[in-house]
Structure 1
Amino acid sequence: MSTIPSLADLHALGPAQQPTYPDRAKVDAAVDRLRTMPPLVFAGECDELKDKIAAVTRGEAFILQGGDCAETFAGVTADNVRNKLRVLLQMAVVLTYAASVPVVKLGRIAGQYAKPRSSDNETRNGVTLPAYRGDAVNGYEFTEASRVPDPQRLVDVYNSSAATLNLVRAFVTGGYADLRQVHTWNTDFVKTSPFGQQYEAMAHEIERALTFMKAIGADPDEFHRVDFHSSHEALVLEYEHALTRIDSRTQLPYDVSGHFVWIGERTRQLDNAHVELLSHIQNPIGVKLGPTTSADDALALAAKLNPTNEAGRLTFITRFGAGKIRDGLPSLIEKVTAEGLQVAWICDPMHGNTFEASSGYKTRRFDDVIDEVQGFFDVHRALGTWPGGLHVELTGDDVTECVGGGEELTDMDLSARYESVCDPRLNRVQSLELAFLVADMLRSSKP
């Protein structure tokens, strides 16, 4: 049986981006409560996802990973979960149909409640309070009471994640994800956009294909459900450690808080507690790599996190920014490939392209997002390697948080419906547009 490092040992490593709780007894009580809770996901499901990601490492599949920047407890409603699921299903259908490649569907969902921050504090009008670190840690309201880290919120994360996964499983197995429902996933505000109309045309083609298959005796019921997996950044050590369990089949540890967990750019140091903890679990895992990452850093992370070089175990999620990816990414891929490492490469075109608009809102330009994705594909094409996936922050709602796209949103439009509590997300129209553009890139990348 593999051993799991204790929380005390992990904290002795001086982990970054952790809450400063005022009452350790309350933390211990919350952790003890979490240790008694049933798993949110099962080890066998994690193994199935690992097999799917192994296909990505071989260039046989593509990952679509998306969802909120930061989930909120208030967002755990049937409508909100359905809307996020719907846009991911639409994007996956576009990628699968247009590029003829299987798509592994991963939601930033049912666990994405904690966020790293660039500063421990936030100041408004001369008042300084602890920064909001996600609903897992403290409240968004700018008051002294709200911003105190509360370990009971970790139990609330578990309960909210359980409710979300229950909804997701009901949707993907109960008929909502049926491929024959492709038309019903298109709402009015999307239908009026050029890419919404393109989607409608594609949906008609899919319907004709399904009708043909039924006529020749094939079973369209095979398209009744889809595989959908959860993922989040493994940030708050107390939560991830409490939900790391020994699998009864294999006697090996799995983090049963989600199928896929990743280490962020701010916590990927080789001697960091997050790398240490995730090196012991059997889940498929990811690591965010930004422009400060060297090729030797990537090799060292692979050696620590995937010492047996197991396909599907390790995914590198690159987040360079549109202006840096073409120069910074090639050396990483070249050296990792030369070492024969089994790694899936996916592109996060969001986090390297954030800026503050003249209106004061944090935003991203849709054109920068597309440019980084294009750079990611260009680098892989030049090196003869497989661009394995896309990691995006998005919502299924008609928000106004990123500028540009087919709707031509401007800085002045941001205030109309800016709802994110942290970073800006693509809205549903922009997400669908992104899917069609990436499908074109993907089709041209296939051998």
Structure 2
Amino acid sequence: MSLSIDPVFHSADAASPRIEDHHGLDRWRELAPKQQPTYLDEAEVERVRSELSSVPPLIFAGEADLLKKRIADASRGEAFLLAGGDCAETFADATADKIRNRVRTVLQMAAVLTYGASMPVVKMGRMAGQFAKPRSSDEETRDGVTLPSYRGDIVNEHAFTPEARAHDPRRLLQAYHVSSSTLNLIRAFTQGGFADLRLVHEWNRGFLANNPNYHRYEQLAKEIDRALKFMDACGVDFEALRSVEFFAAHEALLLEYERALTRIDSRTGKPYDVSGHYLWIGERTRDIDGAHVDFLSRVSNPIGIKLGPNADPDTVLRLAEKLDPEGEPGRLSFITRMGAGVIRDRLPELLRTVAPQLPHVAWVCDPMHGNTITSATGYKTRRFEDVMDEVTGFFESHREAGTVPAGLHVELTGDDVTEVLGGSNEIDEEGLRRRYLTLVDPRLNHDQSLEMAFLVAEQLSAGS
């Protein structure tokens, strides 16, 4: 299964030297890649590149193929893809408690969706690799001092000093090792009994009990308990409930890292990027003739493409042809990030034009990135009502176009942060000060994540 070491999954050669470039994997270097670090010590870069090229894979090629099958199910409306996790992981937060809380939040959301919509949920974490973030400016100025922008822990540190903001290639290795330990913990949580559906009540322990979504979830957990007791009385074998499939995803932004962690699969002879099961290309780097699209067109993982409000049908079709010329089910996902104010205007026409030509592609909603604002108190934030409205608009657009809403992709944390305005706890402008912990983009907290899951379950039920 995913994230387990199964002998039927053949890894690419774990200790092989750097791959001879028979697949054009280095052509991206000729294409002026965007959003890349500026390293000053090329000898150190080469040393890191060489070491990363020989480390064991983080995932196995067969696991990526399994995920393709699951995404193909979602594209047909036979499952629903749920991807959630940090906007940008940090090395310091790769602790057992924080990883457990993120996994637990995704499991709870999946339980709500599975029970509420009677549909399998493909569970995916923005975890074990989401260390890099694209930035709108290469530099940041504070009090007259200008330094390089923080680009995520895989590039530099957040502290505003020249030493911290220097681009350090050694952090690529640190990202690999933190990803490895994170995946080990995820395996333990999802394969060792923690994810057993019979513990659906236990997942709620430690979270705030003074909000409506806690009690709403507890009521759902009681209904699941009753269903499980009925099945137990009927003699059902519950061993399959002890573990779940859980896949790792991140934006494939730093091409040195992704290239060094690409291996040739011993079963098929095809290259796989073994840094994660699922990789996506962001809105800033999806240039049809650009480096990121070229590189990811050459690896065999399932791939996502972020589509903003200005994505036009011709460009989307050309991207599909470049990244998925064989029309392989589950290979390609379009992750729309339109904004609540425009999704009902832009998405239906895109669906009507593109979806009939690409029926095998999964359409996924990112309701976060199109709804970012700056609060009156100066915080980068989002309004929960806008995020929820984009989710509703996503489902409405698919109903209008007669297409399948295949998934949800959200920035969330399992911690009690106060980064997104609104929700049942009514976080206000002043409330943002309490626990605003993100270093880049605001995330839904645990309670807001559950509230979203209930809304999505209602939308899925309404469309069934």
TM-score range, shorter chain: over 0.9
* CA offset digits 1:320-342 (Å, max 9, x no partner): 11011111112221121232442
Verify: 1:387 aligned to 2:387, yes or no: no
Partner of 2:318: 300
Partner of 1:11: 29
Would you say the 8 A contact 1:261–1:285 is kept in 2? yes
Identity percentage over the alignment? Answer: 59
> Cα offset for 1:192?
2.2
SS at match of 1:30: helix
Partner of 2:437: 419
> What is the letter of the counterpart of residue 221 of structure 1?
E
Whole-angstrom CA distance in 2 between matches of 1:209 and 1:57: 28
* CA offset digits 1:280-299 (Å, max 9, x no partner): 11110100000121011110
Partner of 2:366: 348
> Cα offset for 1:242?
0.4
> Cα offset for 1:199?
0.6
Verify: 1:278 aligned to 2:266, yes or no: no
> Cα offset for 1:416?
0.5
Partner of 1:135: 153
Structure 1: stretches of 5+ with no match in the other structure: none
2:122 to 99, 104, 107: 104
**TM-score between both structures, scaled by the size of structure 1:** 0.98
Would you say the 8 A contact 2:25–2:298 is kept in 1? no
SS at match of 1:352: helix
> Cα offset for 1:377?
0.4
1:67 to 80, 85, 101: 85
Partner of 2:204: 186
* CA offset digits 1:31-50 (Å, max 9, x no partner): 10100100000000000000
1:410 to 428, 435, 444: 428
> What is the letter of the counterpart of residue 94 of structure 1?
V
> Cα offset for 1:4?
3.1
Partner of 1:332: 350
Whole-angstrom CA distance in 1 between matches of 2:102 and 2:164: 28
Would you say the 8 A contact 1:138–1:146 is kept in 2? yes
Would you say the 8 A contact 1:363–1:423 is kept in 2? yes
> Cα offset for 1:394?
0.3
Partner of 1:158: 176
CA shift in 2, pair 1:292/1:110, >3 Å? same
Bigger Cα displacement from structure 2, 216-225 vs 420-429? 216-225
Whole-angstrom CA distance in 2 between matches of 1:178 and 1:323: 40
* CA offset digits 1:65-109 (Å, max 9, x no partner): 010000000011100100000000000000000011111001000
SS at match of 1:392: strand
Would you say the 8 A contact 2:25–2:295 is kept in 1? no
Whole-angstrom CA distance in 2 between matches of 1:244 and 1:70: 22
Whole-angstrom CA distance in 2 between matches of 1:73 and 1:340: 39
2:69 to 23, 48, 51: 51
1:26 to 44, 59, 66: 44
> Cα offset for 1:188?
4.6
> Cα offset for 1:213?
1.1
Would you say the 8 A contact 1:190–1:428 is kept in 2? no
Would you say the 8 A contact 2:79–2:120 is kept in 1? yes
CA RMSD of aligned residues (A): 1.1
SS at match of 1:226: coil
> What is the letter of the counterpart of residue 334 of structure 2?
F
Partner of 1:145: 163
Whole-angstrom CA distance in 1 between matches of 2:332 and 2:358: 13
> What is the letter of the counterpart of residue 67 of structure 2?
L
Would you say the 8 A contact 2:365–2:391 is kept in 1? yes
> Cα offset for 1:207?
1.0
Whole-angstrom CA distance in 1 between matches of 2:23 and 2:140: 35
Partner of 1:368: 386
Whole-angstrom CA distance in 1 between matches of 2:352 and 2:327: 17
> Cα offset for 1:120?
0.5
> What is the letter of the counterpart of residue 409 of structure 2?
H
Whole-angstrom CA distance in 2 between matches of 1:189 and 1:171: 18
* CA offset digits 1:305-334 (Å, max 9, x no partner): 000011100000000110111111122211
Verify: 1:86 aligned to 2:104, yes or no: yes
> What is the letter of the counterpart of residue 5 of structure 1?
G
Partner of 1:254: 272
Whole-angstrom CA distance in 2 between matches of 1:92 and 1:192: 22
Partner of 2:8: none
Verify: 1:428 aligned to 2:450, yes or no: no
Would you say the 8 A contact 1:286–1:315 is kept in 2? yes
Bigger Cα displacement from structure 2, 132-141 vs 330-339? 330-339
Whole-angstrom CA distance in 1 between matches of 2:141 and 2:331: 41
Whole-angstrom CA distance in 1 between matches of 2:273 and 2:68: 14
Whole-angstrom CA distance in 1 between matches of 2:206 and 2:458: 25
CA shift in 2, pair 1:392/1:159, >3 Å? same
CA shift in 2, pair 1:302/1:13, >3 Å? same
Partner of 1:168: 186
Aligned length: 445
Whole-angstrom CA distance in 1 between matches of 2:21 and 2:266: 12
Partner of 1:177: 195
Partner of 1:215: 233
Verify: 1:399 aligned to 2:401, yes or no: no
SS at match of 2:165: coil
